[in-house]
Amino acid sequence: MNMTTAGESFTGRARRALSNEQLQSALATATTKHKAARAEALPLLGAEWERLREQARAVKNHTLENLDYYLAEFAANVERLGGRVFWAEDAAAANRYIVEVARRHGARTAVKSKSMMTEEVELNRALDAAGVRPIETDLGEYIVQLAGERPSHITAPAIHKSRHEIARLFAEKFETECGPETERITALARRMLRREFAAADLGITGVNFAIAESGTIVLIENEGNIRLSTSLPRVHVALMGIEKVIPRLADLDVFLKILPRAASGQKITSYVSLLTGLKHSPRDEGPEELHVVVIDNGRTAMLANPSLRESLNCIRCGACLNACPVYQKIGGHAYGWIYPGPIGAVLTPQLTGRQQAADLPFASTLCGACRDVCPVKIAIPEMLLHLRHEIKEHQQLDAPSGLRGADSSPGTPGLLATAAPKQTTPVGFKQRIVGRLEKLSFKLWARAMQKASRYVRAGRLARLAQAAFGRRANGTSALPLKAWARRRDVPMLAPRTFRERWAESKSKAARRAGRR
């Protein structure tokens, strides 16, 4: 696994993002636009929206409970129609297989659609090393590829860049004048990419949904680049996680309604492609050869954990990112890997190891906005709390071998593998002290809440502590709350409690009554 900035902590990346005025402006504009479009689209459905969410959740939960059956059915139908299915236990196995396909066909160039799975397994790096030039064809992915960056959003990879930055990047890379107008940027990108499509030997895509009953691959997009990637090259390679399968074509309807509305406020995406089998004559569209790479890469361990299994229901709409107050301020790169935002804070510790991503579950206000906007009702706050507990208890699952770069040979689906055992991670002196102080604090709080007299005494002590360590007159905060309060409002206790004010009010009322 390669983090965005090697050796830099989440705190360091977040602070750098907070001090980047251009990033702050870009994030505010983009996330506000996405939220406004979604807020405008959902009322048109009325109560139907909640029914669709429940239906989508039920389909996903049913599929996970019977995942081995539906994966086997999907693979059998793909092969019945002439395609080939490869079961990749980890990233290394997936990359080896795809590189071998490219070499067998003498491919020198591969056009790629936007795919989080190809980012997860670092396919571009493997293709480059094998002498195959990968070309991202989604405009956002194309921009970040030219910039040498990772995507910073699940559905809008270049959300962190302004059009002026993009214009300067294009002018530098293509040695031609490019103004900041959207039309000029897209026209130049279209002109450069068209020649890549025409020359490509290999087309590579992800998979939004895989329909078990028919062996159909479903791809949704707004630009049309996926259709060119799957129809012009002779060979199509599709990568999918084991969780992408759904049972029936009829189940697809609900997802086509909820995903675009949750992601961008659209009724439906501009292009919906259902790819089944190969072309039968030269006049048909489609590839002559289809390879579907079904990847585990740690998902079996996720499936085996009843507290976190639900994270496999994610349909990659990005709605939770747009709603999250933390993501809105720090962007995607601060999260350190390819999955940002609330869902990234759940997925990354599971896929890379708890210790490597120990900060992410704590990078949340637990406000619940992510759960409220999720089209399949994933309980993200509850899973963040569970991960916090695991990390605090120093229980870490081994990172999947593919992310450690270990060699692995092709075999049966990773779904049949055994989840990695839990291990105890050494803990530093500072962490032990903090952990003990937290436990002591909660014990004291529990005792104080058991009796009214203790509660009253605790309040008095808290006001004394506030006077010593709370906010100074100039608005700053004294230690130990100084660092915590740098970007937060410190909650201050009232000078007098409600009980004291109530008693005083009753006393005054009694005196007035006595005078009468």
pLDDT for 420 equals 37
**With bands split at pLDDT 50, 70 and 90, how would you rate the model's confidence at 409?**
very low
pLDDT for 177 equals 84
Burial code of 438-456, b = ≥16 C-beta within 10 A, e = fewer? eeeeeeeeeebeeeeeeee
Cis amide bond preceding 361, omega within 30: no
Q: List, for residues 248-285, the tens digit of each pLDDT value.
A: 999 999 999 999 999 989 998 999 999 999 988 878 88
For residues 177 and 148, what is the distance between their CA atoms, to the nearest angstrom? 21
Is pLDDT above 80 for 396? Answer: no
**With bands split at pLDDT 50, 70 and 90, how would you rate the model's confidence at 487?**
low
**With bands split at pLDDT 50, 70 and 90, how would you rate the model's confidence at 481?**
low
Mean pLDDT on 217-244: 94
Which residue's structure tokens are 């050796």?
7
Q: List, for residues 351-375, the tens digit of each pLDDT value.
A: 999 888 999 999 999 999 999 999 9
Q: List, for residues 98-145, the tens digit of each pLDDT value.
A: 999 999 999 999 999 999 999 999 999 999 999 999 999 999 999 999
pLDDT for 458 equals 86
- What does the DSSP assignment read for 447-489? HHTT-HHHHHHHHHHHHHHHHHHSB-TTS-B-TTSHHHHTTSP
If one counts every other C-beta atom within 10 angstroms of the C-beta of residue 404, the result is 14
pLDDT for 392 equals 84
Query: By the 8 A CB rule, do 35 and 383 touch?
Result: no
Select, from the ranges 22-31, 273-282, 325-334, 413-422, the one with the highest average predicted confidence (pLDDT). 325-334
For residues 29 and 333, what is the distance between their CA atoms, to the nearest angstrom? 17
**With bands split at pLDDT 50, 70 and 90, how would you rate the model's confidence at 452?**
confident
pLDDT for 411 equals 39
For residues 400 and 300, what is the distance between their CA atoms, to the nearest angstrom? 10
Is pLDDT above 70 for 318? Answer: yes
The CA-based angle 327-332-337, given to 5 degrees, is 130
pLDDT for 407 equals 38
Min mean pLDDT across 59-68, 76-85, 445-454 is at: 445-454
Mean pLDDT on 141-151: 95
